[in-house]
Each structure stands twice: as structure tokens, then as C-alpha cells.
Structure 1
Amino acid sequence: MNKKVVVAFYLLLNVIFSIAIVLLNKWLYIHTGFPNITLSMIHFVMTFVGLIICEKLDVFCVKDIDIKEMLLIAMTFCGFVVLTNLSLAHNTVGTYQVAKMLTTPCVIVMQMIFYRKRFSTLVKLTLIPITLGVVINFYYDIQFNVIGTVYATLGVLVTSLYQVMVNRKQREFQMDPMQLLFYQAPLSTVMLLIVIPIFEPVGQTFTHNWSLMDVVMVILSGVVAFFVNLTSYWIIGKTSPLTYNMVGHSKFCLLLLGGSLLFHETLAINQVIGITLTLVGIILYAHVKMKDSQTVMPEFKIRETKPLHKV
């Protein structure tokens, strides 16, 4: 099959699955009130089952590593999934999606503080419209609520910490995202299994009269969550960062449309301004990062191919 057709097919699948998981979860929270942490645990279980199948099919190979090295990253994995789901449950789809955009400036700030990493002035300037746009959107959100804002803020902080840790672990242990996830998913499942009885009414969850549609939607949500990860890793590995970023922008816009059509979420004009600012900032950030990488790569190649001096 033509390579361009394959790439386009995976890009389309990633967009569909990414939009579907958000809308499915939102539907479950609105129409069934399904417990948030329990739903996250089901996602982890189904992701692990999917990874076992992929490993058997030689999609990736498991890399041996001490479990202790994965404990902290599994904890942050739990935190970011649960908190972002709580943000989705208590905010509109649009506000949930816009809040996630704050992850980019948050990751950069964490890298600057904890790892003394330096970024160009242009990169730092692109963070201004991103942050300003998110703040404007939250301020003028007609469904604004304090608990939703708290969950969104905590979700951004923990997600950023998780991304920084994943990046570090990948370099430290030479592991790809699927190899890391193979350890994260079961560890995170066990962690959530311990905390669920503390924070959620387990008895009511088991005794509640869930309809067949409810059960199907929960299972479908778990399956879709796995395929979001699978297609995302494929795109990252087989295409350029610019392609991945542009797919992200399309998902951003389509999710806003989906939230408006399915859940009748209206946007105030000031929210539209905030969302536009955020989207412009993200696009500028992606453009500046791509230019930076293109100026670094040729120099690297020249040094790499330079003939060695004979002894």
C-alpha cells in the first residue's frame, strides 16, 4: 500500500479516536454518572490487555527494568488521567480542551526550573498568547465553576510533570513510549484499585442497575483509549513533529465543534477570542520549535559525517 495512504489513514484514525474518547467520557459523566476513578482504572486495564496483544504481534518488545524505577511515573500517570477526566466532568468540552493547552508553557517552565534548560526568546514569547487565551476563556466561560477550575489547574500541573518525567525516563533507559506504558498501565491499575474504595462508593457501583448501553459505552471508552495511545505513538514515530502538531490543532477545533453540537455548549464572544489566542500561540510555538530544530540538525549532520583524523 502507498506510504502516503498509510500515513493519512493513521492520521485519520488518531483524529477520530482522540475526539471519540473525549466525547464518550463526557457522555458517560453526563448520562450515567459513572465513577471517574473507576473509569480511569478500566482504561488502564484495557490498555494493558491491548499492549500484551501488541507485544505478542511483535508491534514492540518489552524491555526489562526494575519496577521501582516506574513507581513515581505510574503515580503521576494516575494523577494526570484522573485529574484531566475530572476536569472534563466538571467543565465544558471547550474549556477542558483549552485548559490542556496550558501544558505546553507549564512543561517549559518546569524544565527551566528543575533542569536549567534554556529556550529561545521567541519560544518564550509564544507562551504569552497561549496563557492569556486560556485565562480569558476561563474567565468568560458561562459554565465557570471553582471545582472545575481547580481540577483543570491540577490536571495541567500533573500532566506537565508526567511529560517531563516520561521524557527523562525515555532518555535514561532508552525506552519508547509503548515500553514505558507496558509498565505504567498495570502499576497504575493497582494504585487506583487501592484508592477507589476511599474516594468512590464501590458498593453502589456494583449494585447500580447499569443498562446494556451504559456497559457498552464504558467498554468502548476503554478500547478507544487504547487506540488513541497506539495511533499517537505510531504518528510520533513515523511522521514529523510538525505533522503531529497540526493533527493536534485539527483535533482541538473539532472537539470544540463536537462539544457545541452534542452537549449544546455555547461560546461567548470573549471565549472565542481566548480560544483563538490560544490556538495562534500553539501554532506559533510549533513553528518556532520546528525552525529551531531545522537550524540544529544540519550542524549535527555535518559534525557526524566529518572524516576522522588518522592516528
Structure 2
Amino acid sequence: MVAADPSPIPWTTIGWVASWYGSNIGVLLLNKYLLTNYGFKYPIFLTLCHMTACSLLSYVAIAFMRVVPMQSVRSKIQLAKIAGLSVVFCFSVVCGNVSLRYLPVSFNQAIGATTPFFTAVLAFLMIKKREEWVTYSTLIPVVAGVIIASGGEPSFHLLGFIMCISATAARAFKSVLQEILLSSDGEKLNSMNLLLYMAPIAVICLLPATIIMEKNVVGITLDLARNDIKLIWYLLFNSSLAYFVNLTNFLVTKHTSALTLQVLGNAKGAVAVVVSILIFKNPVSFLGMLGYGLTVVGVILYSEAKKRYSS
């Protein structure tokens, strides 16, 4: 009996994957352009704009467009847990935006690819979650790749490197924390509803931080906008893209699987590196690209090992 041909991938799924790639790479490149080439040196305010847009657009998407059913917060304890996640989420986004002031996107993505390493280490330390030794061994090229890439990076900047490592570790910490805090069936929220509640809390956290650390940023932004109105459009478009990254991420997962999303994410990082080098023309070395390639190979091996030994 001849096996039936596999079903073709629906155009809707292809469309959502393309949208996810476009919004993800777009917000990354636009962040870089605003914070370095354009000279808008206010990463905390930029993150505040992102979170404000996520708050408003999340509500519109869920309450009016009904992209997903609205899930309610059931207790003050659950709200406190969401607030904790929001603070960590905030920290990771701010650190990521600060790092883009000092590092090229290519190196930023190389460091960001080490998220599985931090997730595995934190899961072991916090919840005693053990993986097979084969799975842990695949993390060696992940870390080795970043060490090689750091040594061969012409635009290496220590503060940018520390901020990027902090952002990556914070993303991993949020994943593990989310598994701990929202593990019961009554507390689980899908990613869109979680963003709906996290984003306004992030705004509340970022507002005083912006006022204290980036004094008179609103006045400065308005003065810059009087000279170049495009700045306002850049900020509005950039903030909207930040929300669509989350929306398309959810929809790609819904139409494929979490594992497929991981594979697509690895490829997306490579695409972002190539596009950023073409646009910003930042210098890259053979050693840097070799290190990044080794990290990506390590992440792919890690994903395969997780799939094989957890099934």
C-alpha cells in the first residue's frame, strides 16, 4: 500500500509564520535604528511605549475582536504572581533594548540564542528539573559558540554584552517562574491573556523608572518630533510591531506546535543576522560567524535531544 502524500501546509499557516518573522525581525531592526542610527537614546521610554501598545491592543484583540476567549484573574494571589512575572518580563525587555544601543543585531542574536542554556540551568536550580546527560551535553556548543563569537566580535562592548546576557537570563527565568507560579489548571493563562494582564503592570513599573532615569524624555521626544515628525510614526509603528510579535507568536504556535516554533525561531535568528548585516553593514568576522553558527547548531541539537528524551 502506497503511503498517502503528506498534507500541504495551509497558506494561512505560511502567512502567520511570515507575519511572525516580519514583525519579530522588524521590531528588532527598528529598535536598533532608533537607539543607535537615529539617536533616540531612551530604551526605558521605548519599552514603555511597547508595553502601552501591548496593553491597549491586547484588550482590543481579546475583548472586541475575540482572538481568544477572555480569561479572568481568579484571586489576588494569582494577580500577585502575574505581577512578579511582569517585573521580570519588563527587566528582560529593557535590558534587551539597552544592549541594542551598544551591540550589533548579529551579536545580540548570538547571545539571545543561549536562552536554552539559562532555562536548563535555572530549571535545575529552582525546581530540580533534571534532563538526560545527552541533553546537557548539547549545551556545550551553545555556550562555546557565544565565547568564540565574543572573541571575534569587532564591535564588542562590555556593558552591551552584560545587558544582553541579563536579558537572555531574565527571559529564561520568566519561563521557569511561569511554570512554577501558574502551574495549576485553575491558574493557567494562554500567552495572549497573560500579556493582557502583564502589560499594564509593566507600564506601572516603567513609568516611574522612565521619569527618574530618563528625565524629561517626553519633552525631548516632542522637541525631536517638531524637527522630524517621522519620529512619532516610528514610535507608533515600532510599538504596534512589539504587540504583533506576541500575537503572531501565539497564532504560529496555535497553527503548528511549540516544537515547530522552536525550529522556526532558530531559523529566524539566522535571518535576522543576515538582514541586519545587509542593512546596518556592521563589521563581522569569520570567527564571529563561526561562533554564532556553533551556537545555532547547539540549540538545534538541544531541541532534538529534548524531543527525543522527553517523549
Q: Give the TM-score normalised by the residue count of structure 1.
A: 0.90
Confirm or deny: 8 A CA contact 1:134 1:278 kept in the other structure.
yes
Amino acid corresponding to residue 209 of structure 1 in structure 2: L
Confirm or deny: 8 A CA contact 1:170 1:176 kept in the other structure.
no
Q: Equivalences for 1:1-150 in 2 at 5 Å?
A: 4-30=10-36, 31-55=38-62, 56-60=64-68, 61-65=70-74, 66=76, 67-150=79-162
Q: Does 1:202 align with 2:216?
A: yes
**Relative to structure 2, which stretch is displaced further, 267-276 or 197-206?**
197-206
The 2-side partners of 1:80 and 1:27 are apart by 19
Provide Cα deviations, 1:213-239, integer angstroms capped at 9, x if missing partner: 111111100111111100101122331
Cα offset, 1:266, TM superposition: 2.1
Calculate percent identity across the aligned residue pairs: 23
| Runs (4+) off by over 6 Å | none
Confirm or deny: 8 A CA contact 1:140 1:270 kept in the other structure.
yes
Structure 1 residues 144 and 284, CA gap change in structure 2 (3 angstroms)? same
Provide Cα deviations, 1:132-182, integer angstroms capped at 9, x if missing partner: 001111122101111111111221222221121223334231211112111
Structure 2 partner of 1:223: 240
Structure 1 partner of 2:4: none
Structure 2 partner of 1:176: 190
Q: Equivalences for 1:241-280 in 2 at 5 Å?
A: 241-280=258-297
The total of aligned residue pairs comes to: 293
Structure 2 partner of 1:185: 199
Amino acid corresponding to residue 182 of structure 1 in structure 2: L
Provide Cα deviations, 1:110-151, integer angstroms capped at 9, x if missing partner: 110111111011110110000000111112210111111111
Confirm or deny: 8 A CA contact 2:96 2:163 kept in the other structure.
yes
Cα offset, 1:14, TM superposition: 0.5
Cα offset, 1:245, TM superposition: 1.7
The 2-side partners of 1:126 and 1:69 are apart by 32
The 1-side partners of 2:9 and 2:221 are apart by 47
Structure 1 residues 176 and 252, CA gap change in structure 2 (3 angstroms)? same
Unaligned 5+ segments in structure 1 are: 297-311
Cα offset, 1:89, TM superposition: 1.7
Provide Cα deviations, 1:249-293, integer angstroms capped at 9, x if missing partner: 221111111121111112111111101110110111111122234
